[in-house]
């Protein structure tokens, strides 16, 4: 799983500008999720932050996603050192 996350981080760096443009087209008040992984046995939302600390606004998109899709696992990946859990969201360092 960690290898996949690292790959996603690298991909996100390359798509940073595109993500900024896409975010303008999203519905107001409904933040997007960086990655949604789904299949027969998996449904996960992954948010990636290039920060060493996690702020409440960093987990907001995942909280909203969880309201809409309570069956989804929600994960935030960040550049910190601790593995945490907040509001049912797994927060993992990379």
**3-state DSSP assignment of residue 38:** strand
Strand blocks (E) in 1-94: 35-38, 43-48, 73-78, 84-86, 89-93
For 72-87, the pLDDT digits (tens) are 999 999 999 999 999 9
pTM of the model: 0.70
Mean pLDDT for the chain overall:
80
Read off the pLDDT of each residue in 54-69 and give the average, rounded to a whole number: 95
């Amino acid at each position: 799983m960690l290898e996949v996350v690292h790959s996603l981080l690298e991909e996100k760096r390359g798509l940073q500008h595109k993500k900024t443009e896409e975010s303008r087209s999203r519905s107001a008040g409904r933040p997007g999720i960086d990655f949604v992984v789904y299949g027969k046995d998996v449904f996960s939302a992954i948010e990636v932050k290039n920060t060493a600390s996690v702020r409440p606004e960093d987990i907001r998109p995942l909280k909203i996603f969880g309201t809409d899709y309570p069956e989804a696992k929600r994960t935030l990946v960040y550049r910190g050192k601790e593995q945490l859990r907040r509001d049912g969201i797994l927060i993992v360092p990379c």
